[in-house]
Every structure is written in C-alpha cells, then in structure tokens.
Amino acid sequence: MAFFDTLGDYVYMYRDSDGNPKYTGKGHGNRCLSHLNSKGYNTDDLWIIACNLEKFRLEEKDASFVLESYLISTLQPTDNAVAGHYKECFIMAKFSELFEKYQSEQYDNFESFPDWYTENYDKLRGRVNVVAIKSDNIFIESKTRETIQMQFYVDVSGTPTQVRFCIWQKGDKFEQRKKELYTFLESCGYTEEMITPVGKREIFEVAVDDIESVISLFDDFMG
C-alpha cells in the first residue's frame, strides 16, 4: 500500500497481448488490482496512464484543462510553446516497472542501519535472534524468554507497523504463559484492550505508536 500512496489519484489501463486497450479506469489505493479476480486480468498487462492527479485540484467545469495538459504532455505538438501542466503526472508506464523501481528505491533507505537501531544497539545487542532487512521494513525477533518471543516491524520512516509476542507453548503451560504475558504488559502500561490475539497461533499484537516505546518494551521484556 505504501507504493500506491506514491500514485495518488491515478488513471490505469489494461492492454491485451497486442497492446490494444481492454479496460481503463480511475482509482486510488489498490483499486486497479480489483479486476484481477473479477475480470481475470494480469498485472503484466496493467499500465498507469497518469498519477497524482489530485495536484490539479479542479472543479468539473475545468476538465478541459486536464485534457489539454494530457494531450500536450503525451503528444508534444510542435507548435505548443508551453509544456503541459504537471507533465510529470502523465507517465504512461507499465505497472510492474513502476513497482520494481519503487522497491529498488526502498532498498536505498537501508544502505546503513537507521538511527533508532544504532542509538539503541546496547539494548538490542545479545538479545536478538533475527534481524531481517526488507525493501520496506526491518524485522526484529528477540531471543526466547520463558517460551515467549517479541517481534516487531519498523518501516523506513522509523515507525513501528507491528509489535507482537509469540507464546511457544500448548495446553495449561500456554495459559500460564499467557497470564504472565498480560501481567507483564499491564505493568508496562498496556491494558487488555491494547492487546489483540491474532489467528490460530499463539500470537498477541500490541498497539505501540512510536519506536521509542517499542525499544523500551523490548528492553523491559528482555531485562
């Protein structure tokens, strides 16, 4: 979804194998993917015609302004002295190529470890089981304590997107560990309403808003 945020309000088109238009529409978010199931389309045939059209901020009566800008930007008439407005919006690019470019740019964000990691390395050192650097986030998994692990994801802006605890027990021992986990979280200021059981596995997500709070919780858990 972070990729779709870069497109803003956009116009898209599906083409057949010969390049002929099959379907076009406007959307926001992942609207263009809604046809994969309903119409049996493939993203290999998906093109983004224009993006970030919210920049125009126009009333319906000004639709001609958008059309003029599109035609000047895409056709580049020889006698037009001025380029089309917001010509960067009219990209006519293959969806898959845009997404690959976006992913490659995300990797650049992790050319070095982010500040929150290096500044708190003394709290993480010797306590981490897994560090996974992905295109859009860093995943950290703690070492196991009393059959419980803490895991969290942090995006490229340093914002935690998921914080959870996993209990690797069954039966009565699981119930005991769950009680201990809830007691621990309550002592850290997290009420039961802020804890959400996830799926069939013994995983519990915790609502944490900032990386400082995540590191503090990690430090308390491992300490």
In CATH, what number is assigned to the domain containing residue 143?
Answer: 3.90.1150
Same domain, 121 and 214: yes
Q: What are the structure tokens assigned to 184, written together?
A: 């621990």
Per-position DSSP letters for 15-65, written without gaps between them: E-TTS-EEEEEEESTTGGGGHHHHT---GGGEEEEE--GGGS---GGGHHH
The predicted model scores a pTM of 0.54
Q: Which domain holds residue 164?
A: 115-222
How many domains does the chain contain in total?
Answer: 2
Tens digits of per-residue pLDDT, 124-151? 999 999 998 877 789 999 999 989 999 9
Candidates 137, 130, 61; CA nearest to 106 is: 137
How do residues 60-92 score in pLDDT, each as one tens digit?
Answer: 556 777 888 888 887 888 888 777 778 888 888
Same domain, 143 and 216: yes
194: nearest Cα among 159, 163, 215: 163
